């Protein structure tokens, strides 16, 4: 059994505007923003605006509105960052690698022969993240 949703997780705080983020896409149900600890330039997170701890407790309706945005962001990161492909990752519970307990998908540009940067817990330069967000927003336009 999974634990209850915590409305004070960092993504819930971002959704409420309590913590800033570099938004690249937003509609009534979904927000996409830059990961501040990117494993590749253009690493983007896609989250539902409604509460869900992870895919194990998400509703079919939440997933139905979320997945087209994940696809849209994946196409845009490939275009914006001239990537060879993109990996979409989603983790469910701590043993599987989940560290923020609000449903989210990582969309990470990938390049032939280039390994992902390790997830060190250290935030990237925010000016670099802001420039990458602008580049991604342009690709989405």
Q: Is 22 a residue of the active site? A: no
Q: Which residues contact 55 (CB under 8 A, 6 or more apart)?
A: 63, 90, 92, 103
Q: Which of 97, 29, 16 is nearest to 61 (CA)?
A: 29
Structure tokens belonging to residue 88 = 């979409």
Query: Which residue is catalytic, options 22, 43, 102, 104?
Result: 104
Helical axes 60-80 vs 126-140, angle rounded to 10°? 100
Report CA-CA distances (Å) from 86 to 2, 37, 90, 132: 29, 17, 13, 16
Active site residues: 104
């Amino acid at each position: 059994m999974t634990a209850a949703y915590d409305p004070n997780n960092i993504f819930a705080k971002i959704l409420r505007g309590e913590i800033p983020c570099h938004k690249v896409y937003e509609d009534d149900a979904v927000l996409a923003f830059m990961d501040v600890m990117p494993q590749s330039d253009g690493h983007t997170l896609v989250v539902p605006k409604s509460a869900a701890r992870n895919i194990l407790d998400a509703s079919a309706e939440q997933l139905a509105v979320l997945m087209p945005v994940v696809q849209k962001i994946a196409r845009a990161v490939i275009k914006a960052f001239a990537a060879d492909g993109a990996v979409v990752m989603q983790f469910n519970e701590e043993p599987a690698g989940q560290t923020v307990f609000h449903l989210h998908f990582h969309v990470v540009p990938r390049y032939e022969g280039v390994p992902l940067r390790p997830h060190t817990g250290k935030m990237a330069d925010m000016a670099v993240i802001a420039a990458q967000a602008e580049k991604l927003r342009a690709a989405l336009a």
